[in-house]
Structure 1
Amino acid sequence: MTLEQFYEKNNPWPDRSNQKVLFILDARNSLEEEMLRKWIGSHSDPSASFDAPQVCIDLKDEKTGFDSGQLVMSLALPPETIIAPLRVAWSSGDNRGRLRYLILRDPRKPSPRQGQKILSEHPERVTLMAGAPDTMANLRQRFEDQHSDERAASQSEFANFVARQAALVLDMEERKLKGGRYKMPRHVAATLMASAEYNADLEQLAKDSGRPKDELMKEAAEYMKEMVSAPSSFWIDFYARFNNYCLGLGYEEDIVYDRVALKKIRHMVRNNPSMLLWTHKTYLDGMVVPKVMYDNDFPMPHMFGGANLNFPGLGYLLHRAGAIFIKRSFQDNEVYKITLRHYIGYLMEKRFPMNWAFEGTRSRMGKLMPPRYGLLKYVLEACHHTGAENIHIIPVSISYDIIRDVEEYATEQTGRGKGAESLKWFIGYVRSLARPMGKVYMDIGEPVVLKKAPDPDDRLALSKIAFEVAVEANEVTPITLPSLVTMSLLGAAPKALTETELVEDLNALLQWAESRQLRISPDFDRDFADQMEGPLGIMLKENIVTRYDEGPEVVYGIGLEQHPVASYYRNTVIHFFVNKAIIELALVKASENQEGEAVSVFWNEVDQLRDLFKFEFFYAPTEEFHQQIRDELAHYSDDWETLLNQGAAGFGTLLQNMAPLVAHVTLLTYAEAYSVVAAMLARKEAHESVEQAECIADALTYGRQAYLQRRISSESSIGKLLFKNAYKMLQGRELTEGGPDSLKERRVELSRELRELLRRIDVIRAIGVASRGAS
C-alpha cells in the first residue's frame, strides 16, 4: 500500500461531536512531521467551525525529557477538547539488532534522507498510527489524582503528564504491529518523581532526617540514573541476538521447554504482578529465560543483576536490555531504599515481569542452594506498599547436559579463589563455550500465589515463601542422561561397569523415577550407548566418563580425579533420591538393633538423618515428610512394619524389592565431609573454640590427608561448601564454642556416630554390588 492509499483509507481524526481536537505529533524530524500533518490534512473537514491545533514533540527521547513548552500553551483549551496522539512507525524487516546499526542508524529510527528512501523503495515498512484519544478533562482529573498538590498546580507538569500518556497509548498501538516483546516502561524516572506517593515518602523522610526535600529529590534523581533500566527496541533485539550467539556456541539451538506450561505463564504474567525465579548453575542462566520469552513474544522481563556483571561493555548492554543493577549494600540509605521500592512497585503495577536467580549465586555443587531472601524481600515489600494482589511467583528450573563452569567450581571448592569478572574475563569465558555441551532445559513449576504480600517484617512468612519456591523448582528439575549416568557410575566407583551393567542400572533408576512420576527430560536418550555423538559422547570427550573397549566387553567408569565434576551432575537430581537413601540407612540401623522395637528405632533414625543433613536438602514439614517415607515404603510392601520387626530376615525381604539402592551414591559425599570436620573438631580440647573460616581452612587440609589415607573415598568429599554446612551442623549442636570437659566427649561421640553412618553406607554399597553380581 502506498502512503497516499494509506492516507485515503485511514482517518486520524477521532470521533467528535463538534468538539475541538488537539493533535500531538510524535515526530523526530521534519519528514515525520510532514507525513503526519499531511495525514491530518487529507481528512480535514473544510466546513468545520474550528481549527485543530497540532503540537510536535519527540515522545521517544527520554534522555533530555520533553520540550513541552508549546504543549503548555495548547493545553489552555476547553475541558471537552479531545487530545489525539499520532506517530510514524518504521519497521526494520528481518534484520533486527544488527551491530552495524549503531553506526549506520537503526532503520526503525531513520534520518529524513533514509526515510525518503524507505518510502520510495519499501513503503510497506511505514505505518502511521493513532493512539487512543482522551479529553482534556479526563487527563486533568487523572493527573490530579496521581500527583502531589504542588506538582498538580503546575501547568508544565500537566503538559509533561499529557506527553507521557500520549507516548503510552502510542506504544500500545505500536506493539500491536511489532509484538509484545517490545513492551517496555517509558519515562520511569519522570513518572516516579511526579508521583504523589513517592513525594509523600520523601517529605516524611525530610521531616525525620532534617534534610531539605529538594536535596533528597536531587539525590534520588542520581540513584534513578544508575538504577532504572533504559530498554529500547534496538537493544532488546541486540540482546536477543547476543543470547542466541552465546548459547549457540556450545548448545543445540532449541531450548527444551513445555509450550503448554509457557502458555499458562503468559496468561499469569499478562494479568498479575509476576516474578520468575530461576535456579542458577552458570552465567548463561540469565540468557535462557529472556531468550525463551523473546522467542515467544513475551514482554521483556526485568532482571536483577549482580554488581559483579556491571562492568564496561556487558553492563552497558544489560542495562539497556532490562537489567536492574542495585548496590550491594544500602541498609542505611533511606533515600535509596524508598526509590528502589517505588521503582519495583511501579514495574509490578504495570505488569512488567521480574526475574532473577533466587539462590543469589551459582550452585557450586549442582544441587539447589539455600534461597537468598534480599531481592525477594525488596520486591514483596514494594508489592505490600502498593497493595498488589494475586502476586505470582513462578519457579523456573534451568538445566544443561554439560556445564562449562563445573571445572571452575571443582577447583574453587578446593580453596582456590575465584577470579574477578571484567570485560577481558567475559570475552575469555564466551570463547570457552565453543565446544559441544548438549541441550539446555527450561522447566516451569506451579506458581506460588500470594493474595497479598506479607508484612515486610514477617521473616517467617518470607522464608516459607522462599522454601515453597525452592521445593517446586526441585520438583520440576528434569532427570537427564548425564545426571543418571554419573549417579550410576559414582555408585559403582572405583569399579567400572560393563555396558550391560550400566544400561541395567539406568533402566532401574528410570523405572523407579517413572513409578514416582518424577520429571524425566522428554529428550532422554535410552539408546545412548548406540549414539556416541549424544550426551554420553560429549561426557567422554570432556573426560567426565571413561570408556574402555579393548577388552572382551566395553566398560564405563569415572576416574578418581573426575569425581568432583561428575558429582556435580549427579547432584542436580540428588534431591529426588534423598528420602529413599534415608529409608535404606534407617532400615539397616533398625535391622541391627538388638534392643527395643525396630519400627521405633527406624523412625528415630529417619529423624536423626533428616536433622543431620538439614543444611543440604529441602524437606517437607515433619508430618508431611513422615507420610512421604510411608508412601515410599508402601511401594515395597504394605506390611513393611511387620517385616521390619522380624529382624534381619524381614530386612532382607524388604531389600529384595528396593532396587536400585541409592544411599551410598546419594549421601556418601556429605557423610564423609561431615566426618572430616567432626574428626578434626574431636581432636581439639574442650576449651578450644573454632570459627567457621578456620574450620573450613583446616578441613581442606585435613580432608586431603584423609583422602590420601583412603579414609574418605574421593576428592568430591572435600569442598568449602560441604565443610561450611558441616560447621553449621556442629554449631547447631553447640559443639563449636569451647566449654566444659564434657564437651570433648560430645564431640568425640558425634565423630563416632558419623563413622558408624559411613559403615552403614558401606553396607548398602556392598549389598548393591552383591545384587549386581548375582544378576
Structure 2
Amino acid sequence: MTGTSDSRPPQEPTSARPDADRKGGLLGRWFEPVRVPRDAGPTLHELAARGSLVFVMRSPGLLNFLYLRWFLRRSGLPPLRAAQGFSGFLGRLARVRRTRRAFEDAVGTGHSTLVFLGRGPAEKDPFAALVRLQRDLFQPIFLVPVLLVWSRRAQKLKPSLWDVLYGSPEAPSALANGIAFLRNFRRAFFNVGRAADLKSFLVDRAAEADAAIARKIRGALHQHLAREFRTAVGPPLQGPSRVREKVLRDRTLRATVEQVAREDGRPAAAALAEAEKDLKEIASRYDPALIQVLRPVLAWLFGRLYTSVEVDEEGLARVKRVAGDAPIVLCPSHKSHVDYLVLSWLLYENGMTPPHVAAGINLAFWPFGAIARRGGAFFIRRKVKGDRIYTAVLRAYVKHLLRERFPQEFYVEGGRSRTGKLLFPKTGLVSMEVDAWLDGAADDVVFVPISIDYEKLIEASSYAKELAGGEKEKESLKGLLGAAKVLFRRYERLYVQFEEPISLDRVAHERLGARAASLSVDDAWGGEAERSSTAVLAPGARDAPAEAKRQLVQALANRVAYGISRAVTITPVGLVGAALLSHVRRGLASAEVARRVELLRYVAAEGGARFARDLAGAPSDPRQPGPIADAVRRLERGGLVRVEVAAGDTIYQVVDEKRPVLDYHRNAVIHRYVAPALVAAAVRAGGAAGSPEDEVRARAKWLSRLFKLEFMYRVGASFDDIFDQNVAFLVRVGAVSRDGERLRPGAEAELLAFLGEFMRAYLEAYRLAATTAAALLGPDAPRHGGVDRRALVKEALERGRGAFLSGQVALRESLSKATLENAVEWMIGQGLLAEDGGKLRLPREGDVTELRGIMDGIAPHLAV
C-alpha cells in the first residue's frame, strides 16, 4: 500500500556514508521505522543552504537528541553539534556539547543545534543569545520546531497513576519515554514544523530589547509545538460525565430548553432530562486505546481489499499544517462505508488525531454503534425538523467539539451517493459550524474538501438495485456479518485526494466585508439553514443579518462541494465508462473509443484534473497495453462489457442490464465534462443549420438551471464567462464552427454529438418526471387529492420501464430513482409543484401548462 504512512527519512547517496551508516548505524534498527513527512528532507536542505538550523523541541530527552542526530546524519544535513536545555547525567553520557560557547560556535559556523524548551533562568535563555548572535551574522538563523512522538497516549484532565509516577504525555520522564520508545518505535513519527527566519523577524524590531524579543520567540515556538502535539494526540481526554456537564451548560441550549418548557407547560427539569437523553444518543465515547487496537486491523483490511491506497501526500501534509493553526472539519465525498474508515486510519497513520465523524443514527446498531462511538463517531437522526431540544443539543455538542479543537468529519452530501455523482450540498452541519464560530468557539474554522474514489465499489450491486426502485436494506448485525464476503474479493485501487483548505473567516470577510461582524447565531438549527436554497421567499421575509448568514452558509457549502469535485480522481474505468455510455448505438469501434478517451483526457487536463496513477502518457487505445486496456479487460471479466471482433475491427458493447453499474463510474468523473456537454447539447438542438449564438447561450443557461441539483458548477465564475470559454474550446477541437453570429456543428460533428449525449440520461429522466406529474395531477388525473413524492417517483419508474421497453426512452440509466427524486425536488423548488401536508399538487388545479413547457424545452435535445 502506498501513502505518506510509508515515508522514511531521505537518504544520502550510499557512497557518501561509511559502512555502518549504510546499514542505518547502530541505532538504525530502532530509528528507521519512524515516519517522516516526505517533504521534510528537501525543505531542511533548502534552509541549510541559506543559513544555520536551530531545532527546537518541547521536552529534553536523550532519545529525542539521539534521533535528531541520527536523522540529520542520515539525511545528509549539517550535523548536530550542540544542545541547550539538556542537563543531567544522560546528557553527559551521550557527550552532548551543552556549553553556551559550543552552542554559539556551532550556530555561527552553520552546523545544526538543538534547543529544548524549558524553564531555565532568564540569563541562560538560549533565545536571547540567538537574537544577539543573529544581529552580528549575515546568514539567517532558522528556528525549526520539531516534534518526535513515541507514544500516542492522550493527556487526561485528571492525571492517572502513570502520569503521577512517570510524567504526562506532554512532558514524560526519561523512564516513560524509554518504555514508550520500546513499545511504539515502529509507530512513532517525526514532524517538522514551519521554520521561523530570525533575521527577517528582527528587521522591524531593531529597537526592541533582546530579552523581550527572545520571550516572544520562545512563546510563539512553545504555542506552535503545543498545537502540533495536540494535533498528534488530540485534546485532553474528558470523561462522559464531564463532556455531558460542559455541553448541557451551553447558554444557547439552556435558553432553548427553558423556552420550550414554558411553551409546553412542563417543568424545566423534564425538558433538561430530555436534552440529557438526546446528548447520550448523540455523543461519541472517543477512546485512543481502541484506535491503537484497530490500526493494524484496518491496515490488514485495506491491504486485502485494495491493490493499493493512493494518497495525495502533498495535500495531506497541507492539512497537517493547517490543523495546527485552527480546528479542521474534513468534508469527504461519500460513496461507501469504507470512506470514514480509510480517512480515520490514514490520519492516524500520519501522526494526526482521528476525527469525530458525524454518522447517521441508522449505524448505531449493536455492536457496530458501540465500537464506532469509541472510534469517534457521533450519531445524528436523519429527520430532526421541529424537535428544538434535540437540535439545540446537537448544536451545543458540535460547538463543544470545535472549542476543544477535535478534528471533525461530516459529509456535505448528507448520505452516500448511489449514482457516483456528487450530491447537492446539505447545509445543516455547515450552519452549525458557522454558528459555533460566531459564538466564539474558535477564531477560525478550516474546511477540507476531500475526494475518496474507487476503481471498483463494494456497494455497486446494491446501489444498482436501489436506483432501479428497490428498497434500501437497513443496516444491521446480520448485514454486517454478511459483508464479510467482500474479504474474498479484490477492489482495485482506492484514491484519497485533498483540495485546498477553506478558511471560514476568510470566506466570511471576502463575501461580506464589514458586514461579517453583524452576523448572529440562529435561535434554532434549521431556522435558516434547513430551508432549501431553491425556496422562494417574500421580500422582507428575513432581516439583513439573517439573510447574509444564510448566504454565507450556502456559499461555504458550495465551495466545499466544488472543492470535492475538483479533487476527484480521473480513473481509467471512469474514462472508459464515459466513452462507452454516451451514445445510443449498440457499440463502438476501437478507434472511436480511443478518440473519445483522448478527448476526455484532454478536457480534464485543461481543467487541472487529477489523474489516476499510470494514466499520464499511457495510450488511449483499448487495444494497446496500458491502464485503459486493463480497465476494459476488468469490465469484460465482470460482465459489464462485451468485446466482439467483426470485419477486422474490435467492437465494444455495454451489456444493457449492467449499464447502471458502469454509469456509476461515468458519473464519478462527469463533473469535468458538464460545462462543454451543456454547450454541446445547446448547439446540437439547433440542428445542422445551427442557431444564433444568443439562442444557443439561452438554451445552455436553461439547461444549467434545469440541472442545478445535479451538478456543481464552477464557483467564482459567471455563466457568460463559462459559456464563452467552452464555445472557444469546442471551436478549437472542431466540434463547433462559427458562421457569422451563428454556431453550428463543425467538421468534427461526432465529437459534438459525443459531448451532447452526456446529458441524455438526465434529460430523459426529467422529461419522464414532468410527464408523470402531469398525468397524475392534470385535469384527467385519477388522484385529485394529490400524490406524495414517493408515489410519484415509483409511478415514474414504472412508466419509464414501459417507455424503455417500447423504445420511447433510449437509455436504461435514465430510469434512476435518484435522478427522478432530484427532478421532483427541482419542480417543487421552481413552483411547478406545490407540496402541502406531504402531498404534491399543481399550483393551479388542472393546469399543466408549465409542466408542458419543461417537456417542450427538453424535446429538441432528445430529437438529435
> TM exceeds 0.5?
yes
> Tell me, what secondary structure is at the counterpart of 1:280?
coil
Shift of residue 374, structure 1, vs aligned partner: 2.2
Task: Name the aligned partner's letter for residue 771 of structure 2.
Answer: A
Shift of residue 496, structure 1, vs aligned partner: 2.7
Partner of 2:498: 444
CA distance in 2, matches of 1:681, 1:646: 42
CA distance in 1, matches of 2:90, 2:269: 48
Partner of 1:464: 555
CA distance in 1, matches of 2:312, 2:455: 17
From 320, 325, 328, give the equivalent of 1:271: 325
Query: 1:523–1:747: structure 2 CA closer, same or farther, 3 Å change rule?
Result: same
Task: Name the aligned partner's letter for residue 530 of structure 1.
Answer: P
Shift of residue 474, structure 1, vs aligned partner: 0.9
CA distance in 2, matches of 1:580, 1:126: 53
| Contact map agreement 2:734 2:748 (CA 8 A) in 1 | no
Runs (5+) with no aligned partner, structure 1: 18-57, 69-83, 92-107, 109-115, 128-168, 761-775
> Tell me, what secondary structure is at the counterpart of 2:678?
helix
275-284 or 221-230, larger mean C-alpha shift: 221-230
Query: 1:398–1:384: structure 2 CA closer, same or farther, 3 Å change rule?
Result: same
Shift of residue 90, structure 1, vs aligned partner: 12
- Is 1:671 the counterpart of 2:767? The answer is no
- Is 1:631 the counterpart of 2:725? The answer is yes
Task: Name the aligned partner's letter for residue 247 of structure 1.
Answer: F
Shift of residue 713, structure 1, vs aligned partner: 1.6
| Contact map agreement 1:184 1:231 (CA 8 A) in 2 | no
From 610, 613, 623, give the equivalent of 2:704: 610
From 738, 741, 754, give the equivalent of 1:662: 754
Partner of 1:503: 594
| Contact map agreement 2:155 2:236 (CA 8 A) in 1 | no
Shift of residue 558, structure 1, vs aligned partner: 0.8
> Tell me, what secondary structure is at the counterpart of 1:743?
coil
Shift of residue 702, structure 1, vs aligned partner: 0.8
| Contact map agreement 2:291 2:375 (CA 8 A) in 1 | yes
> Which digits, 9 at most, give the CA deviation of each residue in 1:258-306, with x for residues without a partner?
2111111111112112101111111111112112211211122111111
- Is 1:686 the counterpart of 2:779? The answer is yes
CA distance in 1, matches of 2:156, 2:267: 31
Query: 1:551–1:244: structure 2 CA closer, same or farther, 3 Å change rule?
Result: farther
| Contact map agreement 1:345 1:379 (CA 8 A) in 2 | yes
Partner of 1:575: 671
From 413, 417, 432, give the equivalent of 2:486: 432
| Contact map agreement 1:345 1:386 (CA 8 A) in 2 | no
> Tell me, what secondary structure is at the counterpart of 2:449?
strand
Query: 1:292–1:535: structure 2 CA closer, same or farther, 3 Å change rule?
Result: farther
Shift of residue 328, structure 1, vs aligned partner: 4.1
| Contact map agreement 1:189 1:221 (CA 8 A) in 2 | no
Tell me the C-alpha RMSD between the 2 structures. Answer: 4.3
Task: Name the aligned partner's letter for residue 546 of structure 1.
Answer: R
Partner of 1:183: 234
Partner of 1:37: none
CA distance in 2, matches of 1:627, 1:173: 46
CA distance in 1, matches of 2:437, 2:825: 33
Partner of 2:283: 228
Partner of 1:755: 859
Partner of 1:95: none
Runs (5+) with no aligned partner, structure 2: 1-26, 28-61, 64-86, 92-117, 122-152, 186-221, 509-515, 523-527, 529-548, 834-839
Partner of 1:486: 577
| Contact map agreement 1:302 1:323 (CA 8 A) in 2 | yes
Report matched runs for 1:198-277 at 5 Å.
198=249, 200=251, 204=255, 208=259, 209=261, 222-253=277-308, 255-277=309-331
Partner of 2:832: 734
Task: Name the aligned partner's letter for residue 343 of structure 2.
Answer: V
Percent identity of the aligned residues?
22
| Contact map agreement 1:438 1:538 (CA 8 A) in 2 | no
From 366, 373, 376, give the equivalent of 1:319: 373
602-611 or 512-521, larger mean C-alpha shift: 512-521
> Tell me, what secondary structure is at the counterpart of 2:703?
helix
From 744, 751, 766, give the equivalent of 1:651: 744
Query: 1:192–1:417: structure 2 CA closer, same or farther, 3 Å change rule?
Result: closer
Report the TM-score, using the length of structure 1 for normalisation: 0.71
Query: 1:242–1:386: structure 2 CA closer, same or farther, 3 Å change rule?
Result: farther
CA distance in 1, matches of 2:693, 2:182: 78
Task: Name the aligned partner's letter for residue 578 of structure 2.
Answer: M
Shift of residue 217, structure 1, vs aligned partner: 6.2
Task: Name the aligned partner's letter for residue 637 of structure 2.
Answer: K
368-377 or 198-207, larger mean C-alpha shift: 198-207
Query: 1:244–1:547: structure 2 CA closer, same or farther, 3 Å change rule?
Result: farther
Partner of 2:341: 287
| Contact map agreement 1:436 1:538 (CA 8 A) in 2 | no
Report matched runs for 1:379-458 at 5 Å.
379-451=433-505, 455=520, 456=522, 457=528, 458=549
Report matched runs for 1:542-561 at 5 Å.
542-548=638-644, 552-561=648-657
Corresponding residue pairs, total: 624
Task: Name the aligned partner's letter for residue 565 of structure 1.
Answer: V
Partner of 1:72: none
Partner of 2:611: 520
> Which digits, 9 at most, give the CA deviation of each residue in 1:300-354, with x for residues without a partner?
2111111111111211211111111234455555554444333322322232210
> Tell me, what secondary structure is at the counterpart of 2:611?
coil
Shift of residue 86, structure 1, vs aligned partner: 3.3
Partner of 2:191: none
> Which digits, 9 at most, give the CA deviation of each residue in 1:597-648, with x for residues without a partner?
8122112211221122222122347961220111122234489999644488
> Which digits, 9 at most, give the CA deviation of each residue in 1:108-141, with x for residues without a partner?
9xxxxxxx9x9999995599xxxxxxxxxxxxxx
Task: Name the aligned partner's letter for residue 234 of structure 2.
Answer: K
| Contact map agreement 1:577 1:662 (CA 8 A) in 2 | no
Task: Name the aligned partner's letter for residue 484 of structure 1.
Answer: L
Partner of 1:43: none
> Tell me, what secondary structure is at the counterpart of 1:386?
coil
Report matched runs for 1:301-316 at 5 Å.
301-316=355-370
